Chain A
Amino acid sequence: MAARQPIHDEQHHPVLKVQGLKKKIGRKWIVHEVNFEVYAGEIFGFLGPNGAGKTTTIRMLVDLIRPTEGQVHICGYDVLREPERALRCVGSIVENPEVYGYLTGRENLEHFARMIPGIDARRIEEVTQLVGLTGRIDDKVKTYSLGMRQRLGIAQALLGRPKLLILDEPTNGLDPKGIKEMRGFIRRLAEEGMAVFVSSHLLSEIQLLCDRVAIIGRGRVLAVGKVDELIQANRSYVVWELEPREPGERLLRSAAGVSVVNDAGSVLDDTIMAGIRGQAIVTQMQPELIPGLVQGLVQEGVRVEAVQKVNPTLEQLFLEMTEGESIE
């Protein structure tokens, strides 16, 4: 084989580069055209509803599914042509962390370590400590909770000191404390220079965790960019709780640049709706207008009990990006 030296300049060359990725299963195109790049030290979000082609794309990244067209390069190596070298740079959990229940945690790690050259018992000890499983590592995995399995999954992903970590819905099934720990953990890994690729169907999750995000819908990348920029490009929602309500609402309706949303349930996340009392008024407006409006309301004798800025739902974001076409 000709000596084709890949360049490993981490500043300028992406750890993961996806070009024109397409997948057709049967007669249906599951993934139309996916392009993006992930660089060292960043947390890259892959956001899309279920059925958008997220999992299929992730599986193509790690050689579980052969793309119909397009290329995936990891650390400069083509995943299709040089899978051994490319996969040496990746640690991944695809969907659930499925490990052998009839083996202990340590036996599982030893099992996977044997499949990667140059991983010894010390490294197993290291990753066990890193994910905080030292106390239970010699128990059978079938006795583990979902959170512990997730940690073991991460431990096996980290065994080979990967440059790229791929996590598919990493907070799925975790309790709030576990989710928080997981976020902190992922951030630490990125700070150490690892490129982390995280998929999720929850906008809030991506917002809290990621530096950059690709939004995918119906097998296409709709947008790639910094998370805040993408969200702010679309107008935000502001929720008002006013006393008395009627004059307040009249005042908001008359204000310039403010439109009152009549059917709040369709644009806001259920979790946000749960926190809003029935009396609240939902408006769509630029957040910069809030101070002026509050002043105006107070002057009119309306008490402002709460003002809350909320982000649109993922679905809403999609509606705006695809200009009214709803997701299937």
Chain B
Amino acid sequence: MKALNNILPLVKNETIKMIKKKRFYVILLVLLVLVPMFAYAQLRQAEDKREKFGTDWRREVQQAITDNQNSLGSDRVPEEWKKYRQIYIQQMKYYLEHDVNPREPGGVSFTREFLDNAATLFIPLLIMGVGSDIVSSERTGGTVKMLLTRPVRRWKILLSKLVTLLMFVSLIIVSTCLICYLISGLFFGYRGWNMPVFTGFQLRGVEVDLSGVHAVPQWQYIFMQAGLIWFVSIIVAALAFMVSVLVRSTSASIVIMMATLIAGNILTNMASSWTSAKYLFMVNLGLTNYLAGTPAPIEGMTLGFSLLVLTVWGIASLVVSFLVFTKQDILN
């Protein structure tokens, strides 16, 4: 309890600095500018489809299934993609059989899709925006000397920064969901909370095991997504935190994190035959894909595996951060 009382004023300090540095406002601003763009793009897409298929969504899904089936016979399509498409076809059939529109437009659906797409790069980038300079800015600015010559142990100072970072990470995810819903609602309406979404597709090679599939209301699905994204973000934050401790310059620390994240996205898309890449944290960020039943980028990856890999990376980076920060000489 006593230790907690010591930490609280430090957390307050860090929170004040974070807000006064206006980093969080920048992130909100980015969301407020970009989300309407995505929403508008989606609106145009929906209009196109309505012209093509009318108001009957079944025709649209049927068409998608036929298109994909036709492409399976072509030699020009890589085997890897064929696998994806076979799985996709089976899922679409399932939706069709149960008379559920997989792409019912609405604010809630938009949020769900946006979260799916933002999980591996967009949200981690926002997290980096607040995480990368939380320690390195004190070193760049020289204020670290002022911080560490106080009668406060170094680990407490670092812990207060970590707590603040985790608070802002949570805040960023909540704001992303809220901004998404509120803005896309203007385009598509605010309904769709109870629309059923299927989850629990088990993949066995190219076969989809449908025995575990069940419908959950969309609001529940979004909560599950947000939880997974929150977990991914915590890990990304822990890594950014470590880089921020290890690298003195803020810009260098941002570059390192950004390069790693983008490298992860590239690796994922290469659908690697390099199987040991699955132990890298960057290819494990797409946790929401397991919910939707999209195949994992590398053979042998499951939700449990990815959670485990991310946890190990997260804990390791925190251990390194604390060891280095409490021992290191402040030479400049």
Residues of A participating in the B interface, judged by any CB pair closer than 8 Å: 25, 59, 62-66, 83-88, 90, 92, 94-96, 98-103, 107, 111-112, 114-117, 156, 160
With A and B bound together, what is the CA distance between A95 and B9 in angstroms? Answer: 26
Minimum CB distance partner of A89 in chain B = B151
Question: Do B10 and A114 touch across chains, with their CB atoms under 8 A apart?
Answer: yes
Q: Which one of A99, A102, A117 contacts B20 once the chains associate, using CB atoms below 8 Å?
A: A102
Report the minimal beta-carbon distance from A315 to chain B, rounded to whole angstroms. 26
Report the minimal beta-carbon distance from B275 to chain A, rounded to whole angstroms. 41
Q: Could you say which residues of chain B place their CB within 8 Å of the CB of A84?
A: 151-153
Tally of chain B residues near chain A (CB < 8 A): 25
Question: Would A98 and B150 be within 8 Å (CB), given that A64-B329, A107-B20 are in contact?
Answer: no
With A and B bound together, what is the CA distance between A59 and B146 in angstroms? Answer: 11
The 4 closest A-B pairs by CB, nearest first: A98-B142, A114-B9, A115-B150, A88-B151
Minimum CB distance partner of B137 in chain A = A100
Query: Which of B11-19, B48-56, B203-211 makes up part of the contact surface?
Result: B11-19
Q: Which one of A86, A101, A115, A160 contacts B10 once the chains associate, using CB atoms below 8 Å?
A: A115
Q: Is B327 an interface residue (CB 8 A)?
A: yes
Report the minimal beta-carbon distance from B147 to chain A, rounded to whole angstroms. 8
Question: Do B331 and A65 touch across chains, with their CB atoms under 8 A apart?
Answer: yes
Residues of B participating in the A interface, judged by any CB pair closer than 8 Å: 9-10, 12-13, 16-17, 20-22, 141-143, 145-153, 327, 329-331
Report the minimal beta-carbon distance from A169 to chain B, rounded to whole angstroms. 14
Question: Would A96 and B142 be within 8 Å (CB), given that A63-B149, A84-B153 are in contact?
Answer: yes
Q: Could you say which residues of chain B place their CB within 8 Å of the CB of A115?
A: 9-10, 13, 147, 150-152
Q: Could you say which residues of chain A place their CB within 8 Å of the CB of B10?
A: 114-115
Question: Do B146 and A83 touch across chains, with their CB atoms under 8 A apart?
Answer: no
Minimum CB distance partner of A67 in chain B = B329
Q: Which one of B21, B149, B152 contacts A94 once the chains associate, using CB atoms below 8 Å?
A: B149
Q: Could you say which residues of chain B place their CB within 8 Å of the CB of A112?
A: 146, 150
Report the minimal beta-carbon distance from B202 to chain A, rounded to whole angstroms. 52
With A and B bound together, what is the CA distance between A103 and B146 in angstroms? Answer: 15
Q: Could you say which residues of chain B place their CB within 8 Å of the CB of A65?
A: 329-331
With A and B bound together, what is the CA distance between A101 and B12 in angstroms? Answer: 18
Q: Could you say which residues of chain A place their CB within 8 Å of the CB of B149?
A: 62-64, 87, 90, 92, 94
Question: Would A63 and B148 be within 8 Å (CB), given that A96-B142, A102-B21 are in contact?
Answer: yes
Q: Could you say which residues of chain A place their CB within 8 Å of the CB of B329?
A: 25, 59, 64-66
With A and B bound together, what is the CA distance between A90 and B20 in angstroms? Answer: 28
Q: Could you say which residues of chain B place their CB within 8 Å of the CB of A156?
A: 146
Q: Could you say which residues of chain A place their CB within 8 Å of the CB of B146?
A: 98-99, 112, 156
Minimum CB distance partner of A156 in chain B = B146
Report the minimal beta-carbon distance from A89 to chain B, rounded to whole angstroms. 8
Q: List 20 A-B contacts (CB under 8 A).
A: A59-B330, A63-B149, A64-B145, A64-B149, A66-B327, A84-B152, A87-B149, A87-B151, A95-B142, A98-B141, A98-B146, A100-B20, A103-B20, A107-B20, A114-B9, A114-B10, A114-B13, A115-B13, A115-B147, A160-B151
Question: Would A100 and B17 be within 8 Å (CB), given that A95-B142, A95-B145, A114-B9 are in contact?
Answer: yes
Report the minimal beta-carbon distance from A156 to chain B, rounded to whole angstroms. 7
Q: Could you say which residues of chain B place their CB within 8 Å of the CB of A66?
A: 327, 329
Q: Could you say which residues of chain A place their CB within 8 Å of the CB of B327?
A: 66
Q: Could you say which residues of chain B place their CB within 8 Å of the CB of A64?
A: 145, 148-149, 329-330
With A and B bound together, what is the CA distance between A65 and B149 in angstroms? Answer: 11
Question: Would A111 and B16 be within 8 Å (CB), given that A59-B330, A95-B142 are in contact?
Answer: yes
Question: Do A114 and B151 touch across chains, with their CB atoms under 8 A apart?
Answer: no
Question: Would A111 and B13 be within 8 Å (CB), given that A64-B145, A66-B327, A66-B329 are in contact?
Answer: yes
Q: Could you say which residues of chain B place their CB within 8 Å of the CB of A85?
A: 151
Report the minimal beta-carbon distance from B318 to chain A, rounded to whole angstroms. 22
Minimum CB distance partner of B14 in chain A = A111
